[in-house]
Amino acid sequence: MNNLAEENTLIESIISGKKEDYAILVNRYKGFAFSLAVRVLKNREEAEEATQEAFIKAFQHLKHYKKESKFSSWLYRIVYNESINQTRKRKKTESFEIHKFDVPVQRKSDNMEIKDRKKYIDLALNNLPEQDSAIISLFYLQEMNLAEISEIMSLSSNNVKIKLHRARKKMAGALHRILKEESLTL
Amino acid sequence: MKTNKKDSIQDFIDGTLSEAEAIKIWESIESDKEMMREYKSLKEVHDLLYDIQKLEPSAKFTAQVMSNLEKTGPITSFNWHNLLIVFGIFICLVITSVSLSSSSAQVVEIPQQIDLMNRNINTTNLFIDSINLNVIFNGILFLAFILAMLFFDKTVLRPLLGKRKMI
């Protein structure tokens, strides 16, 4: 039995009342779902909350899931929407400037802790707008193609491609700036 | 450097170009220092991005989700939007049929025997003559028709066209 068929059988069993089987799906996708939420929200606690909420919503609407598409794509769409909703709520209560490509203020105190380039890339990634950050996460971490990402984010494939290119360019610029600042402070 | 050439570098990195296009853009990269710098910078980011690590939520995550599920009801395919639309159609049809059943109330006359002269109101500009209830019934029937179409779209057309799109 292939993955999709196995997953559909599992979903059927959950719908028919075996609630406990849902834990299998949660364990299977929690890492990627949480990573996506972190990229959008840039905060672990909020991301965990959003991911939990997304899993609960997915469970409640499991009957509406169309089995022709991947369950993961359907789930990530819920996670993405939930995370975006959280950022909207947050923006209402505070003025949150994460779209600038300035190096974060707290970075200087972290200088000595940053040991490898992976951390620099993480730092640069955290400075991306939430949508770009989510595209990068889906493309590189989940290794999804542009069509799948466009389905999750309700954007056209071409739009996703443009945003991916732009995000990568921003990342290159931000990385260059961070490394330059690092070499000046060390 | 032209913007489309810069985009082509990214397409080249993503491997979405045809073989002929890839060869052409690689020749451009090799012959142009600025393009080579751009390529190296983007390729470096591209390679590094594959090292993004999957993050894991807290250890109690699954347990928390499952315990929250206990608080929620059973899975249901019940759709409140559909119910509201059906309810709207029902109400419109009830109002129309009740109203049409009383044929004597087809036209409501607005009394015109108001002593307007003594109140210094210019009666020549007064517009209201009567309200034709047929217009109202037709309006309600039209609303019911729109709601029925909406219901048909949601329950039949969208699932059908969605399926075709998936294929």
The tens digit of pLDDT for each residue in B13-24 reads 888 888 898 899
Does residue A76 share a domain with residue A12?
yes
Q: Which B-chain residues 42-71 have CB contacts (< 8 A) with chain A?
A: 42, 44-46, 48-58, 61-62, 64-66, 68-70
Does residue A113 share a domain with residue A83?
no
Considering A66, A94, A122, which residue would you say is the last residue of a domain?
Answer: A94
Bridge partners for B131 per DSSP: B108
| Residue A75 burial (C-beta neighbours within 10 Å; 0-12, 13-18, 19+) | buried
Using the predicted structure, report yes or no on whether residue A83 has a pLDDT greater than 90.
yes
Chain A partners of B82 at a C-beta cutoff of 8 Å?
none
Provide the mean pLDDT of chain B: 74
Considering A60, A94, A128, which residue would you say is the last residue of a domain?
Answer: A94
**What was the pLDDT predicted at A100?**
40
Does residue A146 share a domain with residue A118?
yes
* Highest-scoring range by mean pLDDT, A32-36, A86-90, A129-133, B8-12: A32-36
**What was the pLDDT predicted at B53?**
79
Does residue A125 share a domain with residue A80?
no
Does residue A57 share a domain with residue A11?
yes
The number of domains in chain A is 2
**Could you report the per-residue pLDDT of A2-29, keeping only the tens digit for each?**
677 888 888 988 988 888 899 999 999 9
CA dist A19 and B74 (Å) reads 9
Does residue A123 share a domain with residue A56?
no
Distance from CA of B92 to the nearest CA of A (A): 29
CATH of the domain at A118: 1.10.10.10
Is B163 at the interface with chain A, CB within 8 A?
Answer: yes
**Could you report the per-residue pLDDT of B95-142, keeping only the tens digit for each?**
777 776 665 555 555 555 555 555 555 555 555 555 667 777 778 888
Helix B3-14 to helix B33-49 angle (10° resolution) is 40
- Tokens 């220092």, located at residue: B33
- Which range marks the domain in which residue A86 is found? 1-94
Considering A74, A94, A114, which residue would you say is the last residue of a domain?
Answer: A94
**What was the pLDDT predicted at B98?**
75
Residue A70: both structure tokens together: 């991947």
Does residue A113 share a domain with residue A54?
no
Does residue A154 share a domain with residue A79?
no
Quote ipTM for the complex.
0.75
- Tell me the residue length of chain B: 167
CA nearest neighbour of A49 among B65, B54, B72: B65
CATH of the domain at A89: 1.10.1740.10
Does residue A6 share a domain with residue A84?
yes
Does residue A134 share a domain with residue A116?
yes
- The string of DSSP letters for A67-131 reads TTS-HHHHHHHHHHHHHHHHHHHHHHHS----SS-SPPTTHHHHGGG--SHHHHHHHHHHTS-HH
**Could you report the per-residue pLDDT of A132-155, keeping only the tens digit for each?**
989 999 998 888 889 899 989 989
Does residue A69 share a domain with residue A3?
yes
Closest chain A residue to B164 measured between Cα atoms? A68
Does residue A58 share a domain with residue A112?
no
Q: Within a 13 Å sphere around the CA of B117, how many CA atoms are in the beta-carbon half?
A: 1
- Best interface-test mutation with B: which of A165, A176, A179 has the largest number of B CBs within 10 A? A165
Amino acid residing at A173: G
